[in-house]
Amino acid sequence: MKTTFILGAALSGAILGPSVVMARDTITAATWLPPQHQYSRYLYTYWAEALAERSGGTLVAEVELGSARVTAGGNLQEIADGLADVSGHFAQYTPSDLPVANALEELGMTFGDPRVVIAAATEFNMTEPMLLAEWAGHGVVYGGSYTTNQYKLICNTPITTLAELNGAKLRLPGRAPAEWANAAGAATVSFNTNEQYGALDKGALTCTTTTAADAYVRKLYEVAPHITDMPVTMFWAGLGHGYNPAVWAELTIDQRRAALYAEADAMAALIVDGTLLEEAAAEESLKAEGVTFHAPGEDLTASIAAFRAKQPENAVPIIQETYKIAEAEALLARFQATIDKWDAMLADVPVEDKETLADMMRAEIYDKLDLATYGLQ
C-alpha cells in the first residue's frame, strides 16, 4: 500500500507569500519500503519534516512510502531516469553496477558501531574519487547513507550449532557473510526484504538476516520465531539518499544545503532512535510475541570469529578478482582510516545524543563541500 503526503507546503506559503516564484519548490522522495520500516520513517518522513524547517519552506518534499514508482533492484536506474527525484538503493542488489560500493561491504563483518559507520560511509562516498565517479557514472548525486544495526539470524527453526547451520537456506547481505555460511555448509538464497516473509513461511528460507527492530516491524515473528543472538554483519553499501542530477542542478545552493543538513538530522535519528534504541525495545516486543533468542553454540561463535579476524586481509584479493579493483588494498585502507577517525570522534559522545551526531556530520562532511559545484558534472 502506497502512502503519499506533502510536508512543508503550508509553511512555504506562509514564509514566501503568493508572489514569490522558485525555480523548483518541490521534490518527490519515494521508497519501495513499507511505511512502517525504519528507513521510511526516518529517511523519508523525518527527513521531509527537517527539510521543510531547514529550507524555511522553500523546498517541499512529496513523500511516497511503499511507492510503485521505484523498485528494490531498479532503484539506482530509476533515480537516474527521474522516476523519483530522491530515493535510496541497496548496492548489494546490483553488485556488477557498483563494484566500489560493494568492495567496501567486504569489511562489514568487522565493524560494530552503526553511528561510526553511517558517518564514515557518508563522508567517504562524498569525498572518495572512486566512489564519486561510480555514482556520477550512474547518473546519481550522493546525498547520504544508511546503516543497519548488527544483523542476526532470524529463523523458522533453531540454529545454534554448525551442525544445525549445515544445509540451512539463508538470506544474507553481501558476499562475505555468504562465504562464511557456505563454508559452514549452508546454502545462500536471494530474496529482497519484501520477499523474505513469504520465503520463510513457505520454507524457501530457513533463516533471513536482519535486525530485531526490522523483524518486529515486518512481523517476521509470525513465520520465524527463533533468533540466534549472534552478530553476523552490518549492512550499509549504497545510497541512503541519491538525487536525480537534473533536479539537484535546479536547486539553489541554499536548498541543497538545507537538503543535506536535513540528511544529517535524519541519519542521526535513524541510527539513535530507529536503530540503537529501537533495537532494545524490539527485542522485548519480540519476546512478548513468542520469539526465542538462542545463545549460539561455541562452535558457531568460533566459526564466525575466525572468519571475521581474517576478513580484512582476505578481502584484498577477493576485491581485486571479483570487482576488478587493482588498488583494493589502498581503497580499503582509506576507508578504514575514515572509520577510525569517526570512531575516535564519537568515542565520548553518548549513544543517545543524536543532536551532537547530526552536528558533527554537518560540520565534518557537508560544510566542507562546495555546494556550487558538488554533484554538477
**Confidence (pLDDT) at 5:** 52
Residue 174 sits in which domain range? 151-234+286-308
CATH number of the structural domain spanning residue 303: 3.40.190.10
DSSP-based three-state secondary structure for 92: helix
Report the alpha-carbon angle 267-237-266, nearest 5. Answer: 10
- Are 137 and 94 in contact, with CB atoms under 8 Å apart? no
Q: Would you call 232 exposed, middle or buried from its count of C-beta atoms within 10 A (0-12, 13-18, 19+)?
A: buried
Residue 22: the pLDDT is 47
Q: What is the pLDDT of residue 20?
A: 40
Residue 175 domain-assigned?
Answer: yes
Predicted TM-score (pTM) of this structure: 0.86
> Is 371 inside a domain boundary?
no
pLDDT of residue 4: 55
Residue with cell 515473528: 221
The reported pLDDT for the residue numbered 290 is: 98
**What is the pLDDT at residue 377?**
73
Say if residues 151 and 111 touch (Cβ distance below 8 Å): no
Residue 100 lies in a domain: no
Does some domain include residue 101? no
- Helix spans in 55-211 (H): 75-80, 99-104, 114-127, 129-137, 162-165, 175-183, 196-202
For the chain, list residues with pLDDT below 70: 1-23
**Is residue 201 in a domain?**
yes
Residue 313 lies in a domain: no
Phi, psi of 97 (to 5 degrees): -80, -30
**Does residue 372 belong to any structural domain of this protein?**
no
In a domain, 117, yes or no: no
Domain count, the chain: 1
